[in-house]
Amino acid sequence: MKIDELQAVVPTSNMGPYEQAYNNFQWEDVERHFTWYETGKVNMAHEAIDRHVEEGRGEKAALLYCDANRHETYTFSQLRASSNRFGNVLRKYGIGKGERVFIFMPRSPELVISMLGVLKVGAVVGPLFEAFMETAVKDRLQDSGAVALVTTPALLSRVKREELPELRHIFVVGNMDEREQGIIDFETEMLMSSEELEPEWLSREDGLIIHYTSGSTGKPKGVYHVQNAMIQHYYTGKMVLDLREDDVYWCTADPGWVTGTSYGIFAPWLNGATNVIRGGRFSPEDWYRTIERHEVTIWYSAPTAFRMLMSAGEQVVANYDLSSLRHVLSVGEPLNPEVVRWGWQVYGQRIHDTWWMTETGGQLICNYPELPIKPGSMGKPLPGIQAVILDDRGQVLPPNRMGHLAIRTPWPSMMNRIWNNPDKFQEYFRFPDWYVSGDSAYMDEDGYFWFQGRIDDVINSSGERIGPFEVESKLLEHPAIAEAGVIGKPDTVRGEIIKAFVALRDGYTASEALQQDIYRFVKEGLSAHAAPREIEFKEKLPKTRSGKIMRRVLKAWELNLPTGDLSTIED
């Protein structure tokens, strides 16, 4: 299929012609949209929810929630009322501005309501993916100094309260057999509290959200975003998602990850759209049924999901009416040209790739409705954003040269800090005026950016970012393991899978049973998505003289590539 064919129907969009939008852009024009532009009073939950009620859209459906057991609709008025209730509950327990409140639960209306309630009182919300196990939960709550947590009875056992002295309150959504000290019943408190609440008025530089994400070394980093990010969320919602008055929008990501908050909660509601949230696991049938039932017009998902839908086949698609779809987008990992072609052939939709990161808080390089798509490219920088390719010394490279993908600082949703870790934060800004992403890419002569890979060892499995260090640390807690090195191994469906190389302690022998035990150990201790699907036993692992495992060499072994410079290897 030729690119021209992909462009067969070029729709009109909120952005209009790209070049014109890029050249005429002013952030100030976006800022004027917000009530705080006049009042100086800032609060994300007010802009996303209450504002629509105040402006007469209270009866519009804000949330269409569905999973295997629940199908519920919430209007903006209802979300305003219930998030106010939870805000009042938090205030009753003395929780307020700047304090960190974490949410550890599966997707549900209560997750959304508690998140909005936290924001109403000016606290900083920290979402945790439901698959996190003990160690992952503890590390994040400890590092952030969270004072409160919202969770479910099933997940509560993964919260090691004795190691979390700062965690004062736990709100539990759902029935508990026994009442424990410090455990508060969400439902009871909600019923007792008022629907009216004056939000905490903040400044644009006050905290909004912390997302923990992985790097190549050390524990996960708390990427801290401030209220100002809403400028980017609103603007990209309009220009990239192309949200309009009557759209029904569905972002498939979980709010445990940044896509699920920036684009699962903030962007759609800042734009007053009807937002679908689906709980439960992936299945092609359930996903297509969701589009059909809710007449979804805009759909934001990820390459892994599209690849799984592709392997489920065209037959499945034929059983559903997907004709409501108007705009389809993807994020998280490279979107294969093959998937773009499939989308065009089978859904009649151009899948628009978008590039950004937890640290950037919002989309930066994208394909826009009115821009021709080059399958395999991430697109062009958003109006207001300057993207370049730098060499190792921080000099801007000409087109078609591969180097560090970097963005001119600042932009509204740029992270404000790494919690507790100013040194890590500084590493991103080692070249003056540039944020260095950690991705390598090149820009072609038409200004399109092409992703090449990660410069560090960060693994991207099914669009989820996994730090090898966190997995290695967990592996070393296993009694049989003396040394561990973890890499991403290319995989056609998941992008990469996690592969571990391990050296055993004396007295242990390699076996399939041991492999399975190690897999389970990581899965149950850390999380399922971080568990190594492949484990290879080695006598010894390649290390530098300072004792660092050389993942680069492991990767070369795995891919049958030359191992490169070994001058720093131990022996």
Q: Which residues bind ligand WT7 (CB under 6 A)?
A: 213, 258-259, 331-334, 353-358, 378, 437-439, 451, 454, 460, 465
Q: Which is nearer to ligand WT7, 74 or 356 (CB)?
A: 356
Exposure string (b/e) for 431-445, b if CB count within 10 Å is 16 or more? beebbbbbbbbbbee
User: What does the alpha-carbon distance between residue 417 and residue 143 come to, in Å, rounded to a whole number?
Assistant: 14
CB of 127 to ligand WT7, least distance (A): 13
Q: Of 118, 358, 171, which is closest to residue 253 (Cα–Cα)? A: 358
- Give 124's contacts (C-beta < 8 A, 6+ positions apart): 98, 99, 100, 101, 118, 207, 208, 209, 210, 224
Q: Which is nearer to ligand WT7, 439 or 457 (CB)?
A: 439
Q: Which is nearer to ligand WT7, 89 or 258 (CB)?
A: 258
CB of 425 to ligand WT7, least distance (A): 15
CB of 187 to ligand WT7, least distance (A): 33
Q: What are phi and psi of 292, to 5 degrees?
A: -65, -50
Q: Which is nearer to ligand WT7, 6 or 335 (CB)?
A: 335
Q: Which is nearer to ligand WT7, 81 or 253 (CB)?
A: 253
CB of 211 to ligand WT7, least distance (A): 8
User: What does the alpha-carbon distance between residue 378 and residue 376 come to, in Å, rounded to a whole number?
Assistant: 7
CB of 13 to ligand WT7, least distance (A): 19
Asked if residues 362 and 233 have their Cβ atoms less than 8 Å apart, the reply is: yes
Q: Which is nearer to ligand WT7, 262 or 275 (CB)?
A: 262
Q: How far is CA 235 from the centre of its chain?
A: 18
CB of 355 to ligand WT7, least distance (A): 4
Q: Which is nearer to ligand WT7, 122 or 379 (CB)?
A: 379
User: What does the alpha-carbon distance between residue 309 and residue 409 come to, in Å, rounded to a whole number?
Assistant: 38
CB of 475 to ligand WT7, least distance (A): 22
Strands of the sheet containing 534-538, edge to edge, are 481-491, 495-504, 534-538
User: What does the alpha-carbon distance between residue 292 and residue 286 come to, in Å, rounded to a whole number?
Assistant: 10
CB of 460 to ligand WT7, least distance (A): 5
Q: Which is nearer to ligand WT7, 152 or 437 (CB)?
A: 437
Q: What is the dihedral of CA 241, 244, 245, 250, to 10 degrees?
A: -30
Q: Of 346, 341, 349, which is closest to residue 300 (Cα–Cα)? A: 349
- Give 493's contacts (C-beta < 8 A, 6+ positions apart): 304, 307, 308, 311
CB of 251 to ligand WT7, least distance (A): 11
User: What does the alpha-carbon distance between residue 205 and residue 227 come to, in Å, rounded to a whole number?
Assistant: 6
Residue 300 parent element (H or E):
strand 298-301
Q: Which is nearer to ligand WT7, 259 or 271 (CB)?
A: 259
Beta pairing, strands 449-454 & 459-461: unpaired
